Structure 1
Amino acid sequence: MSKSLFITGTGTDVGKTYVTGLIVKKLREGGASAAYYKAAMSGNDRRADGTLIPGDALQVKRMSGIEQPLEEMCPYIYETAVSPHLAAKLEGKPLEMECVLKHFDYVCGKYEHITAEGSGGILCPLRFDEQQIQQEDFIKARSLSCLMIADAGLGTINAVGLTAEYMKAHKIPVRGIIFNRYDPGNPLHEDNRLMCEAMTGLHIIACVKDGDTDLDMPFELLEGFYEENGGGRK
Structure 2
Amino acid sequence: MSYFITGTDTGAGKTLVSCALLRAFAAQGKRAVGFKPVAAGCDAHDHNEDALLLRAAGNVQAAYGQINPYCFAHAIAPHLAARHAGVRIEFGRIMTSYRELAAQADTVIVEGVGGFCVPLNDRQTGADLAVQFGLPVILVVGMRLGCLNHALLTLRAIREYPLECAGWVANGLDETMPALQENIDALRERIDAPLLGIIPRMRAPEASAAARYLDVKLLERESSHE
| Same fold (TM > 0.5) | yes
CA deviations over 1:17-49 (Å, ceiling 9, x no partner): 1111111111112111001112110011113xx
> Which of 138, 142, 147 is 2:129 aligned to?
138
Aligned residues of 1:153 and 1:188 also touching (Cα < 8 A): no
Q: How does 1:1-234 map to 2 (within 5 A)?
A: 3-47=1-45, 52-64=46-58, 67-128=61-122, 132-181=123-172, 188-209=179-200, 210=202, 211=205, 213-215=209-211, 216-222=213-219
Matching residue's letter, 1:141? Q
Q: By how many angstroms is 1:164 displaced?
A: 0.9
- Residues 182 and 93 of structure 1: is their aligned pair in 2 closer, same or farther, counting only changes over 3 Å? closer
Moved over 6 A (4+): 182-186
Summarize the Cα distance change of 1:219–1:144 in structure 2 as closer, same or farther, 3 Å threshold. Answer: closer
CA distance in 2, matches of 1:24, 1:93: 30
| TM-score, normalised relative to structure 2 | 0.87
Q: Equivalents in 1 of 2:76, 2:178: separation in Å?
A: 34
1:67 Cα deviation from its structure 2 partner:
3.6
Q: Which runs of 5+ in 2 are unaligned?
A: none
Report Cα offsets for 1:45-83 as digits up to 9, x if no partner. Answer: 113xxxx01221112233456543323201111011111
Q: Secondary structure at the match of 2:179?
A: helix
Superposed displacement of residue 152, structure 1: 1.6
- The CA distance in 2 between the partners of 1:185 and 1:198, in whole Å, is 23
Alpha-carbon distance in 1 for matches of 2:22, 2:167: 17
Mean Cα deviation higher: 38-47 or 205-214: 205-214
Calculate the aligned-residue CA RMSD, in Å: 2.4
Secondary structure at 1:136's aligned position in 2? helix
Number of equivalences: 218
Conserved in 1, the CA contact under 8 Å of 2:169 and 2:196?
A: yes
Q: Percent identity?
A: 23
Residue 11 to residue 185, structure 1, CA distance change in 2 (3 Å): closer
Q: Which amino acid is the alignment partner of residue 32 of structure 2?
A: A
Gaps of 5+ in 1: 228-234
- Distance across 1 between alignment mates of 2:10 and 2:135: 21
Q: Within 2, Cα distance between the matches of 1:146 and 1:119?
A: 13
Normalization by structure 1: what TM-score?
0.84
The Cα offsets for residues 140-186 of structure 1, whole Å up to 9 and x where unpaired, read as 22321100001122111111111111222221211121011278997
2:53 maps to amino acid: Q
Q: Distance in 1 between matches of 2:90 and 2:82?
A: 11
Paired residues of 2:22 and 2:58 also in contact (CA < 8 A): yes
Residue 206 of structure 1 aligns to a residue in which SS?
strand
The change in CA–CA distance for 1:226 and 1:76 in structure 2 (over 3 A counts) is farther
Shift of 1:84: 1.0
Instruction: Please tell me the residue identity of whatever aligns with 1:34.
Output: A
1:101 CA displacement = 1.0
